[in-house]
């Protein structure tokens, strides 16, 4: 492996996330606002994690640590797994399936990608960053340096839930150790690092909350970020006034998280097309 391969964007992004995650966790675990006096009770707050440690209550700190580890493992899983790439060289079985799909309805606008030269399934899109076509393309996430698509989108939503839980808990832990009724210089020395951590966690919590809310909405309506933002430019959506893939909240959630009911998007699109074009009785 060439030395510069170790500095690829994906490795740098994942290393940055890992270092930042454990750095913030260490601040929450180790930060103290002053040396305790054994003869006098504390007159200032300390982070909740330090209180638990000093009181010998290890269950909650261990739980927090396991949640941080779980969120980091989910992050790595989503960022490293195949998001649903369309094979550049289709296998014989896939060629037969593509021919059958194209015969479902002549109105389905399947086309070849001008970059990959593969026949794109419905809802697929070419990602210029990954240089591949991705099935049920949602977006390319720069924080993960990977696409979010058909295979890793459910895991991405689960990651957002767990990450938001960790961030909000960390936000509470950071706030529990802050005190503001001090001279500026003393406050900066005792609480400056913890306050910077609190601001960083606040920003990340806001971003994670907005991301989770938007993706839950998209999942509930069986659409993607790309389709939601560019519906006026997408042929199979521009031809229809409504979302042809929306089967109701329950079925949308079941299909997204469990893969049920199974079936190709082309078949569902054709069924909706036939129902929409059938005369009213």
**C-alpha distance across the termini of the chain, in Å:** 67
Classify residue 67 as exposed, middle or buried by CB count within 10 Å of its CB (0-12, 13-18, 19+): middle
* 113 touches 103 (CB < 8 A): no
Question: Is 190's pLDDT higher than 60?
Answer: yes
pLDDT, position 166? 97
pLDDT digits (tens, 9 = 90+) for 165-177: 999 999 998 888 8
Q: pLDDT per residue over 106-159, tens digit each?
A: 556 578 899 988 989 999 999 999 999 999 999 999 999 999 999 999 999 999
Mean pLDDT of 89-102: 52
Residues whose CB falls within 8 Å of the CB of residue 157, separated by 6 or more in sequence, listed in order = 212, 215, 216, 219
Distances (CA, A) of 216 to 85, 185, 186, 210: 23, 45, 44, 10
In this predicted structure, the answer to whether residue 96 has a pLDDT above a threshold of 50 is no
Note the pLDDT of residue 17.
Answer: 96
**Helix or strand or coil: residue 119?**
strand
Catalytic residue (choose from 133, 141, 147, 258): 141
d(CA 174, CA 233): 45
For 225-280, write each residue's pLDDT tens digit.
Answer: 999 999 888 888 887 778 889 999 999 999 999 988 777 888 777 776 666 655 44
Residue 75 has what pLDDT? 98
Determine whether 147 is an active site residue. no
Q: Which long-range contacts (CB under 8 A, 24 or more apart) does 7-15 make?
A: 9/145, 10/79, 10/145, 10/146, 13/79, 13/142, 13/143, 13/144, 13/145, 14/75, 14/76, 14/79, 14/144, 14/145
pLDDT above 70 covers a percentage of the chain that reads 78
User: Does the reported pTM lie above 0.75?
Assistant: yes
Q: Is 263 helix (H, G, I), strand (E, B) or coil?
A: coil
CA distances from 84 to 26, 114, 141, 157, 265 (A): 36, 19, 14, 16, 14
Structure tokens at 223: 């659409």
Give the count of alpha carbons within 13 A of 183, CB side only. Answer: 2
pLDDT at 163 over 50: yes
What pLDDT band is residue 1 in, cutting at 50, 70 and 90?
very low
Task: Specify the length of the chain in residues.
Answer: 281
pLDDT band, residue 188 (cuts 50/70/90): confident
Q: How far, in Å, CA of 73 to CA of 220, rounded?
A: 26
């Amino acid at each position: 492996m060439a030395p510069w391969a170790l500095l690829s964007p994906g490795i740098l992004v994942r290393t940055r996330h890992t270092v930042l995650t454990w750095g913030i966790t260490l601040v929450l675990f180790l930060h103290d606002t002053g040396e305790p006096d054994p003869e006098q009770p504390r007159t200032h707050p300390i982070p909740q994690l330090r209180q638990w440690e000093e009181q010998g209550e290890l269950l909650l700190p261990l739980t927090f640590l396991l949640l941080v580890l779980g969120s980091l493992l989910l992050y790595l899983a989503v960022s490293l797994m195949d998001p649903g790439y369309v094979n550049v060289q289709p296998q014989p079985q896939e060629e037969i399936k593509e021919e059958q799909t194209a015969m479902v309805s002549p109105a389905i606008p399947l086309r070849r990608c001008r970059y990959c030269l593969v026949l794109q399934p419905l809802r697929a899109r070419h990602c210029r960053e990954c240089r591949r076509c991705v099935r049920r393309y949602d977006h390319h996430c720069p924080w993960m340096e990977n696409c979010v698509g058909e295979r890793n989108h459910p895991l991405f939503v689960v990651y957002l839930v767990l990450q938001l839980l960790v961030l909000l808990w960390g936000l509470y832990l950071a706030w529990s150790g802050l005190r503001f009724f001090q001279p500026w210089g003393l406050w900066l020395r005792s609480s400056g690092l913890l306050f910077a951590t609190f601001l960083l966690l606040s920003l990340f919590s806001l971003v994670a909350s907005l991301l989770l809310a938007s993706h839950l909405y998209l999942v509930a309506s069986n659409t993607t970020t790309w389709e939601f933002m560019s519906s006026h430019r997408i042929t199979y959506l521009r031809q229809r006034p409504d979302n042809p893939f929306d089967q109701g909240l329950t079925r949308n959630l079941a299909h997204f998280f469990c893969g049920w009911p199974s079936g190709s998007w082309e078949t569902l699109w054709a069924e909706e097309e036939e129902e929409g074009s059938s005369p009213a009785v």
